Structure 1
Amino acid sequence: MSLVTLTGIAKSHGAQHLFEDVNLQIGTGRRIAIVGPNGAGKTTLLEIMTGEQEADAGTVTRGKDLEIGYLRQEVAQAQGRTVVAEVVAGAGAVSGIERRMRHIETEMAEAGGEAATEAELAELMDEYGRLQHRFEQLGGWSLEAEARRILAGLGFAQADMDRDIGQFSGGWMMRVALGRLLLANPDLLLLDEPTNHLDLASVEWLQGFLAEYAGAVVLVSHDRDFINSVVNRVAELNHGMFTEYVGDFADFVDQRDERIAQLDMAAKAQGRTIARIERYIERFRYKKAKAKQVQSRIKQVARIDRIEVPTNRTKAVKFRFPEPRRSGRVVITLDRIVKRYGAHTVYDDLDLVLERGQKVALIGPNGAGKSTLLKILAGVLPFEGGIRELGSNVQVAYFAQHQIDALNPANTVFEELAGAAARMSTAEMRRLLGAFLFTGEAIEKKVEILSGGEQTRLALAKLMADPANLLCLDEPTNHLDIQSRDVLEDALNAFPGTIVLITHDRYLIRSVANAIIEVNAGEATLYPGDFEYYAAKRGLDIETRGAVEGIATPRGIEAVPARPRESSVEAAARKRAEAEVRNRRYRRTRDLRDALQRVEQEVGENDASLAEMSERLADPATYADHHASRELIERHNAARDRADELGAEWTRLTSELEAAEAEDSLTPTAR
């Protein structure tokens, strides 16, 4: 069944032509990623689907009673409700039904003690019965528990779910808005950059949620791994043209490249045909005997629809970081670092040594301290204890969102760089801008008209006015489209110095990082290998960390040494330690299973009680006794509240049990 159909859609913003002849059919179960460079009109196309913008040409057909949920890139700040209440409010139909049911219960209780007509009471009862049936159909009794499950998946702690939404930053508000949409369960989800404010764990959870989502999904994203995991079609919007491909992102790249190659061959063949005809025209243009044939060929050339070959700018565009001085082998040392924010200790007694050539990705949940560690490494954040020492010839450059926000919109590109490069000559500044893809007239463009990707490149160029050999980069791919991310990836791989970066782009991590630091719960653990090594090794570390009593866990961050060959005595000791770990885990999961069984039993009993009381509330005879009906309503409300509490407890226990079992599944079976 078609939910939304776009036919011949065209759109321009003033003199800027965005796209034309866009045709797309979104059916139930369809999952489509819209990709393309920044400024191509991807968000505009989503808003045409919702009806928030009108197309200049073409038609939009939406299914009857279609429910569309739209996640924007920016959401308004709000307050006055808890996080979980805000998410539950997104299930508008269910929330509205519940409010009306509570109102009818009050009306019926009051009617029972007054001289209400039998017809009035019967009318209330009929409405209550219909609402109750619909409420149960929509899963109303478990609504809050489901909201909490979604919020947990998006990274909220249980305690934070009951805080006022006004206490959270814009990034966390985006998670609230996303959770609200997911709970609402619309027929069609439109998601504009849904992973921008999510950590890696939340991105992976969202992938799993969308994989089981019953409705259709259309998303705009520059995260290749996310696209590959979620979609079954990719639509490219580029140079005003809209082309749909079947498959995931990898399939799209293969099909697009093959299509471009075929178009290129066809265009060259067409060019040879046109050249041959034009040579004939030129040869016989002034010969009277050939006049008719010449005119025929002139018309033939005019009628030819020229084949346009889309450009693949990722293969043509490169930029590079200026060559820095070579640093010493040890680039930076942190010794017993202590960092606090008020009474909250982020790091206590942290050690770290980075060496020349390491390219480290910091990984961990939002709020764990990744940005704090990066700022300490960059020297832009003071700390309460310990020593930070740079190696010989080390020059640090720190990049974060505030460098982009600090760009002066009134300056030209050249003027903006000149303000940070007082010691450079004009020729040197032009060469530096050229390395970051600003050449010719582009250096005279105003900052205010630059795309997000261009602003990112300009901010990086300013940082490199004094070439650095230690780059500290906080989310450098934000605002970059996929092509620009490819360019940055190549530049980082070619950089001869040391890099520490924070990014939620797993593709970039896998492509660039040769070491991973996991930051969580005040601890930081170094995995001296790429992302695949980290993913595999992490399971073993979870299993064995602190397992053998009397052997201390390494303080702070330490390299993981190669394991020497074991003696038979050592092997026996290791096996005993591993067996003890398995026994402890079994006891822990056994307790969780027992608690879960008790909760599920109480859920069943409470649901049966709710059903019995609901039947009595639906009986007009109940309201003959005013006091008894009041007491029944109060017991019904208490049972409903208990259902919410049990749902939250079931969610917590299930999450803990899944985490414990996941640790078990990550543990290697062989050394």
Structure 2
Amino acid sequence: MIAINNLTFEIGARALYDEANWHIKPGDKTGLIGANGTGKTTLLKLIVGDYAPTSGTISMAKDIKIGYLNQDLLSYQSDKSILHVAMEAFERQNQLHTEIERLLKRLETDYSDDLIQKLSDKQMEFEALDGYNIEYRAHEILAGLGFSESDQQRQLAEFSGGWRMRVMLARILLQTPDILLLDEPTNHLDLPSIKWLESYLQAFEGAIVIVSHDRYFLDRVVDSIVESKRGKLIQYAGNYSFYLEEKALREEIQGNQYKNQQAKIKQEERLIERFRAKASKAKMVQSRIKALERMEKVEDVEDYNPSVNFRFKFSRQSGRHVVRLEDVSKSYPGVPILEHADAIIEKGDKIALIGANGKGKSTLLRIVANADNNFSGTCETGHNVTQTFFAQHQLEALHLDHEILQELQAFAPKHTETELRSILGCFLFTGDDAFKKIRVLSGGEKSRVALAKALTADANFLVLDEPTNHLDIQSVNILIQALTQFEGTFIVVSHDRYLLDNVANKIWYIEDRKIKEYPGTYQEYEEWQAKRIPKASVEKGGAKPAKTTPKPAPAPKNEDKDRQAKKLNKELEGIEQRINELEKASKAAEALIADESIYTNQAKLSETSLHYDSLKKELVLLQGQWEKLAEEIMMLEG
């Protein structure tokens, strides 16, 4: 289908690709991954012909149809409706429709056989191209990507960049290409739209190449991974999770080969040095020197997974209540968002705010961050709360003439240069990178600078709106580590399910214009929703009993059941009380482990860690008992 052979592409003196090879076969679904700057987007541009290789070839089947989604499409402008823009995908069908309309108009005055035959030919071709269903198909795909019927009639110019990118994606999908090249397709999608796109791509019969930082998306869509690394394209047969396992195995083998080879080289060098001065051994020495020179060197394994090696600190702890929302109502003209909503954020909460676009996530986030005061009700910030707010528009607030280090120094003057450079190192700005001007950075690099700024603020409450946009997988991992170590409180809006799974302990969502809360992880929330939705749909759509059906007489109370339920409820209360005690003890143990006097003393740390582990084990056991008892009580009282 597409064959990349000995591809070399140079930018200045740097070879981005050096004799790289890759063959894309029909039906392949591949994730193209690699650190920022390794040329993923460049490779897609080389495939579509936007760039020319320095040497090597990219050959493809004749008449192959490529659908290419890239961030440059955001510049596309039109005063047409988004339905019309999406339907531009059907170039031949639209042309035929126009010709048919013109011929029908002529038929009002001209009844010649020639004209009738032309019309018949055009209509047959139109039907063969499924022309009568193109509008339905456009409606279907736009709806899947989150556009309502009324939205589809609005002009493209009325929508923000993220929504315009969805229209471009819809247009590309409607072209039914032989191969889809998708550069960060989930960047501007909400979770429902990402799930819809996953299903669509799973059923797509053509080939797909996806550049994405969303590892869950890759796991669900692709069946192979190609890693762009050191100018080569390294292939793995499996999804992203398989890639991680296979790569770890390959690196372990490579690491052992490197150690063995280094040991052999040192042994040979010692031998050469020992006999170099002896004339009788000169031939043997020269032979071994040449053998060393000819030896194909095994490279050491590079660590591409840097860890966050500093702790985020703030000068004062917040009170118990960080933010309290009471009777909050907010609407836009004709669009109610919140109505008499209440919620509370408590110290230590790690909240993921999720839901479809248009439900008010960003609006609620701005209210929480005191960036929107145009609402009724109260949003009260608690005692000693200091917050920082990260949103994509803050990338525009970076000073373009500043160097990266200078930007952080101006924002966080209390930090030393060593501390700031350590933080920048965690966000992949090492060595002289710290002195790059902001204006020369890519979108992803600017995002990392803005995130580093947000996390160096002396804030005990973080408000983060889509922090993973424009980040690669490596940078998302760094952000996860940073948020996991953060000892304050935060609320985050993100479509990256891996991030949410790893950092959140509470889920917020907006339903019926109220703020609802699920007290658990994102994965637990998903499982709960999966059980809840079918039940809700049965209750909503199930047949109602006829009004004439007489009500049965109330059944006599079962005294044994009542007595048993009472006993179980008492047992449940005891378990709840013990769980509360254990949770308090666990928090106290966590605080001790973080205490410098403990973690610098190996004996005390070991003792405290053992105590903490035993508390956690008992807690898990009791939580299991609680769930079992609760189910029994529900059965008895149901």
TM-score normalised according to structure 1 size:
0.76
The residue that corresponds to 1:234 in the other structure is 225
Deviation at 1:100, TM superposition (A): 3.2
The residue that corresponds to 1:147 in the other structure is 138
| Change over 3 Å in CA distance of 1:516–1:134 after alignment to 2 | same
Distance 2:71 2:424 in 1: 30
Query: Does the alignment pair 1:525 with 2:516?
Result: yes
CA RMSD of aligned residues (A): 2.8
The one-character-per-residue Cα deviations of 1:352-381 (angstroms, maximum 9, x if unpaired) are: 111111111111111211011111111122
Q: Larger deviation: 166-175 or 377-386?
A: 377-386
Deviation at 1:99, TM superposition (A): 2.8
Query: Does the alignment pair 1:504 with 2:483?
Result: no
Q: One-letter code of the match for 1:34?
A: L
Distance 1:128 1:508 in 2: 57
Distance 1:568 1:58 in 2: 81
The residue that corresponds to 2:98 in the other structure is 99
Distance 1:477 1:416 in 2: 21
Matches within 5 A, 1:227-266: 227-266=218-257
Deviation at 1:422, TM superposition (A): 4.3
| Partner of residue 318 from structure 2, selected from 319, 327, 330 | 327
The residue that corresponds to 1:652 in the other structure is none
The residue that corresponds to 1:199 in the other structure is 190
The residue that corresponds to 2:81 in the other structure is 82
Higher RCO (CA 8 Å, separation ≥ 6 residues): 1
Distance 2:50 2:206 in 1: 21
C-alpha contact (below 8 Å) 1:77/1:170 kept by paired residues: no
SS at match of 2:100: helix
Q: Larger deviation: 484-493 or 456-465?
A: 456-465
Distance 1:283 1:136 in 2: 86
Query: Does the alignment pair 1:68 with 2:66?
Result: yes
Matches within 5 A, 1:112-191: 112=111, 121=114, 128-191=119-182
Q: Larger deviation: 454-463 or 209-218?
A: 454-463
| Change over 3 Å in CA distance of 1:534–1:394 after alignment to 2 | same
Distance 1:478 1:431 in 2: 23
Distance 2:59 2:125 in 1: 28
The residue that corresponds to 2:625 in the other structure is none
The residue that corresponds to 1:303 in the other structure is 294
SS at match of 1:314: coil
Distance 1:535 1:365 in 2: 14
The one-character-per-residue Cα deviations of 1:555-590 (angstroms, maximum 9, x if unpaired) are: xxxxxxxxxxx9879x9xxxxxxxxxxxxxxxxxxx
Distance 2:200 2:21 in 1: 28
Query: Does the alignment pair 1:314 with 2:305?
Result: yes
SS at match of 1:360: strand
C-alpha contact (below 8 Å) 1:333/1:353 kept by paired residues: yes
Deviation at 1:228, TM superposition (A): 0.6
Distance 1:438 1:322 in 2: 21
The residue that corresponds to 1:15 in the other structure is 13
The residue that corresponds to 1:579 in the other structure is none
Deviation at 1:7, TM superposition (A): 0.8
Distance 1:514 1:567 in 2: 36
Distance 1:130 1:244 in 2: 48
Deviation at 1:289, TM superposition (A): 1.7
| Change over 3 Å in CA distance of 1:232–1:426 after alignment to 2 | closer
Q: One-letter code of the match for 1:206?
A: L
| Partner of residue 43 from structure 1, selected from 28, 41, 47 | 41
C-alpha contact (below 8 Å) 2:306/2:478 kept by paired residues: no
Deviation at 1:187, TM superposition (A): 0.7
C-alpha contact (below 8 Å) 1:70/1:190 kept by paired residues: yes
Deviation at 1:442, TM superposition (A): 3.8
Q: One-letter code of the match for 2:329?
A: V
Q: One-letter code of the match for 1:62?
A: M
The residue that corresponds to 1:473 in the other structure is 464
The residue that corresponds to 1:55 in the other structure is 53
C-alpha contact (below 8 Å) 1:322/1:435 kept by paired residues: no
Matches within 5 A, 1:556-571: none
Q: One-letter code of the match for 2:123?
A: Q
| Change over 3 Å in CA distance of 1:524–1:16 after alignment to 2 | farther
SS at match of 1:419: helix
The residue that corresponds to 1:281 in the other structure is 272
Query: Does the alignment pair 1:493 with 2:484?
Result: yes
Q: Larger deviation: 174-183 or 134-143?
A: 134-143
C-alpha contact (below 8 Å) 2:427/2:478 kept by paired residues: no
The residue that corresponds to 1:292 in the other structure is 283
Q: One-letter code of the match for 1:421?
A: A
The residue that corresponds to 1:216 in the other structure is 207
Deviation at 1:22, TM superposition (A): 1.9
The one-character-per-residue Cα deviations of 1:227-283 (angstroms, maximum 9, x if unpaired) are: 011111110012322101101000111111111111111112222222222222222
SS at match of 1:32: strand
Deviation at 1:384, TM superposition (A): 2.7
Q: Larger deviation: 517-526 or 67-76?
A: 517-526
The residue that corresponds to 2:398 in the other structure is 407
Q: One-letter code of the match for 1:390?
A: T
* Percent identity for Structure 1 against Structure 2: 39
TM-score normalised according to structure 2 size:
0.80
- Alignment coverage as a number of residue pairs: 546
| Change over 3 Å in CA distance of 1:237–1:432 after alignment to 2 | closer
Distance 2:243 2:154 in 1: 43
C-alpha contact (below 8 Å) 1:231/1:248 kept by paired residues: yes
Distance 1:272 1:131 in 2: 76
SS at match of 1:53: coil
Deviation at 1:213, TM superposition (A): 0.8
Query: Does the alignment pair 1:459 with 2:458?
Result: no
Q: Unaligned regions of 5+ residues in structure 2, if any? A: 541-559, 566-633
C-alpha contact (below 8 Å) 1:319/1:488 kept by paired residues: no
Distance 2:273 2:23 in 1: 48
C-alpha contact (below 8 Å) 1:319/1:437 kept by paired residues: no
Distance 2:405 2:124 in 1: 67
Distance 1:55 1:388 in 2: 57
Q: One-letter code of the match for 2:498?
A: Y
The residue that corresponds to 2:367 in the other structure is 376
C-alpha contact (below 8 Å) 2:350/2:490 kept by paired residues: yes
Distance 1:13 1:425 in 2: 36
Q: One-letter code of the match for 1:250?
A: S
The residue that corresponds to 1:5 in the other structure is 3
Distance 1:194 1:544 in 2: 32
The residue that corresponds to 2:378 in the other structure is 387
The one-character-per-residue Cα deviations of 1:77-121 (angstroms, maximum 9, x if unpaired) are: 422321111111112232233333334444555542xxx6x6xx1
The residue that corresponds to 1:353 in the other structure is 344
Distance 2:442 2:161 in 1: 22
Query: Does the alignment pair 1:421 with 2:412?
Result: yes
Distance 1:207 1:44 in 2: 24
The one-character-per-residue Cα deviations of 1:501-550 (angstroms, maximum 9, x if unpaired) are: 000101111111111111256332111111122223335665569x89xx
C-alpha contact (below 8 Å) 1:516/1:528 kept by paired residues: yes
Deviation at 1:342, TM superposition (A): 4.7
Q: Unaligned regions of 5+ residues in structure 1, if any? A: 549-565, 572-668
